[in-house]
């Protein structure tokens, strides 16, 4: 609940329709896609100007209330969840394209621009914005920057960080900083832009960003392959990388395919196999060369018995149909409240890592179904532990936490990451020590203090 003084102060900063306090609005805006922590914010506000962000920071500092930046709320770690009476700061209404510099191939956007709208803006300019994933129709550029979002094209184009050419922020101390202004070269000491990318809103608000665009790839084609093991999937990756211009290389398990097929009532694309890989590659101009290269790759893989079945899309429509088997997985398992682990290891270690994690889960002897999928082309695997249908969410969560710690021991053994691209938020905090040393975490705390001395920005996220 806001105090009377806080309500009056908000009324001085915002029009009345930009402050929401009803229970349904607070619940709606107070949580991200993860559903393990109940939201309980005091209010939701919708800034449109930097001056309002500065005024909010001043209010938060003087009245010791936390501020939770909120984008499209598709986050999977509770980073945008407000569970302790904070003010949710939604960027939904800061969603303008501010500038376009065609020669520099850059566009300046407000943080509330939806990722897919940025992709479309690029297409309209005959250019391309490559960061893409299943939630890009809802996520915001500001949220993507704050989580350093990755997705399906990282193998070729890298993470969001690569595309942030300049960043304007309001820090937790209320300072407005314009960082790197879209420059390609700028050797003037510490590039603070990169501290904000991936910082999950704990240092300040992103108020606008210069995003790089690039030239569009040639028309793309998709090939879906059935593979007998993860080890062989990596050999398949190596062959595909040598012969095709890959833009994505994804994998999913047979269990994942089963859930998607059930959820979307789809027929089986291929005969049964433990794993499937989906590779997307550029056709050469004219379209023929890329396809014949893919056919040659497929023949080679079949001769080695590295694939047991496969299909190559013959049109854009067939591309989309094949992508549905991969992109539909998250949605298909949502009703089972999946406990998601977003893990990364070096690409070469992925098969051994999967086996070690499966062994840890088996040791725990819990009746859990597991579903693997992810971006194997960059070493990022998503492990989804599904809630047994007759278990309550609370019981499931309680069992997943100690199991999570055992899985993290495996991650640490492999020098991996406990969060590849989903951030730490509230849900992965206990896991952080498995990836970041005591000294690194202590440094992170000190950096936060520099930008957010009173700790008003996204309190309790990443670090206690």
Ligand X SMILES: Cc1cc2nc3c(=O)[nH]c(=O)nc-3n(C[C@H](O)[C@H](O)[C@H](O)COP(=O)(O)OP(=O)(O)OC[C@H]3O[C@@H](n4cnc5c(N)ncnc54)[C@H](O)[C@@H]3O)c2cc1C
Near ligand X by CB under 6 A: residue from 10, 19, 31, 32: 32
- Minimum CB–partner distance for residue 292 and ligand X (Å): 31
CB closer to ligand X, 283 vs 419? 419
**Cα 99 to Cα 121: distance, rounded to the nearest angstrom:** 12
Other C-beta atoms lying within 10 Å of the C-beta of residue 108: 19
Near ligand X by CB under 6 A: residue from 39, 172, 198, 201: 201
46 binds ligand X (CB under 6 A): no
Strands 87-90 and 43-45, by their bridges, are parallel
419 binds ligand X (CB under 6 A): no
Near ligand X by CB under 6 A: residue from 41, 47, 66, 72: 72
Residue nearest to ligand X (CB): 143
Answer for the pair 40, 32: CB distance below 8 angstroms, yes or no.
no
Subset of 325-344 contacting ligand X (CB under 6 A): 330
Q: Write the DSSP symbol of residue 459.
A: T
**Cα 32 to Cα 332: distance, rounded to the nearest angstrom:** 18
Of 116-124, 200-208, 245-253, 270-278, the segment contacting ligand X by CB under 6 A is: 200-208
**E-strand stretches of 105-258:** 106-109, 164-171, 176-179, 204-212, 220-227, 246-253
Of 54-62, 69-77, 276-284, 295-303, the segment contacting ligand X by CB under 6 A is: 69-77
Output phi, psi for 373, to 5 deg: -160, 175
CB closer to ligand X, 139 vs 283? 139
Near ligand X by CB under 6 A: residue from 26, 54, 61, 73: 73
CB closer to ligand X, 52 vs 458? 458
**Cα 55 to Cα 174: distance, rounded to the nearest angstrom:** 8
**Cα 181 to Cα 95: distance, rounded to the nearest angstrom:** 19
Q: What share of the chain is helix, strand, coil (3-state, %, to 5)?
A: 40, 20, 40
Could you tell me the two tokens for 225?
Answer: 């392959």
Q: Is 303 left (phi over 0), alpha (psi -120 to 50) or beta?
A: alpha
Subset of 107-146 contacting ligand X (CB under 6 A): 111, 133-135, 139-140, 142-144, 146
Strands 380-386 and 369-375, by their bridges, are antiparallel
Partners of 291 in the β-ladder: none
- Minimum CB–partner distance for residue 327 and ligand X (Å): 8
- Minimum CB–partner distance for residue 8 and ligand X (Å): 26
56 binds ligand X (CB under 6 A): no
Q: Write the DSSP symbol of residue 98.
A: E
Near ligand X by CB under 6 A: residue from 76, 225, 260, 279: 76
CB closer to ligand X, 221 vs 382? 382
Binding track over 275-314 against ligand X, x by CB under 6 A = ----------------------------------------
The secondary element (H helix, E strand) that includes residue 101 is: strand 97-101
Near ligand X by CB under 6 A: residue from 86, 421, 431, 434: 421
Enumerate binding residues for ligand X (CB under 6 A): 32-33, 68-76, 79-80, 91, 111, 133-135, 139-140, 142-144, 146-147, 149-151, 200-201, 205-206, 330, 421-422, 425, 458, 461
């Amino acid at each position: 609940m806001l105090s009377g003084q806080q309500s009056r102060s908000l009324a001085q900063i915002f029009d009345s329709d930009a402050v929401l306090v009803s229970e349904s609005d607070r619940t709606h805006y107070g949580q991200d896609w993860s559903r393990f922590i109940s939201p309980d914010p005091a209010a939701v506000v919708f800034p449109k100007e930097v001056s309002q962000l500065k005024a909010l920071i001043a209010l938060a500092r003087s009245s010791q209330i936390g501020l939770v930046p909120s984008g499209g709320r598709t986050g999977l770690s509770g980073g945008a969840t407000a569970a302790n009476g904070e003010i949710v700061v939604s960027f939904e209404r800061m969603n303008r394209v501010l500038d376009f510099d065609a020669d520099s191939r850059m566009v300046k956007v407000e943080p509330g621009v939806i990722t897919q709208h940025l992709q479309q803006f690029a297409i309209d300019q005959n250019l391309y914005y490559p960061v893409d994933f299943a939630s890009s129709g809802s996520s915001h550029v500001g949220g993507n920057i704050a989580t350093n979002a990755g997705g399906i094209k990282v193998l070729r184009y890298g993470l969001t960080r690569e595309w942030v050419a300049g960043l304007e922020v309001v820090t937790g101390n209320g300072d407005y900083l314009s960082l790197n202004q879209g420059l390609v070269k700028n050797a003037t000491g510490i590039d603070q832009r990169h501290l904000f990318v991936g910082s999950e809103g704990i240092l300040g608000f992103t108020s606008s960003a210069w995003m790089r665009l690039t030239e569009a790839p040639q028309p793309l084609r998709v090939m879906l392959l059935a593979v007998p093991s993860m080890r062989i999937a990596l050999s398949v990756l190596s062959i595909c990388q040598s012969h095709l211009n890959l833009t994505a290389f994804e994998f999913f398990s047979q269990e994942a395919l089963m859930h998607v097929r059930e959820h979307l009532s789809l027929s089986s694309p291929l005969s049964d196999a433990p794993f499937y890989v989906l590779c997307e590659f550029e056709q050469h101009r004219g379209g023929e060369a890329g396809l014949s290269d893919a056919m040659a790759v497929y023949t080679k893989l079949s001769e080695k018995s590295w694939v047991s079945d496969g299909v190559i899309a013959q049109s854009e429509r067939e591309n989309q149909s094949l992508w549905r088997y991969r992109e539909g997985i998250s949605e298909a398992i949502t009703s089972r409240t999946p406990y998601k682990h977003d893990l990364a290891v070096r690409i070469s270690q992925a098969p051994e890592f999967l086996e070690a994690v499966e062994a840890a889960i088996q040791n725990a002897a819990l009746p859990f179904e597991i579903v693997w999928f992810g971006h194997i082309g960059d070493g990022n695997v998503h492990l989804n532990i599904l809630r047994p249908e007759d278990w309550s969410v609370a019981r499931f969560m309680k069992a997943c936490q100690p199991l999570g710690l055992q899985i993290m021991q495996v991650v640490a053994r492999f020098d991996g990451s406990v969060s590849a691209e989903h951030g730490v938020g509230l849900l992965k905090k206990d896991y952080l020590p498995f990836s970041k040393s005591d000294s690194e975490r202590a440094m992170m705390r000190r950096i936060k203090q520099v930008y957010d001395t009173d700790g008003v920005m996204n309190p309790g996220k990443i670090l206690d």
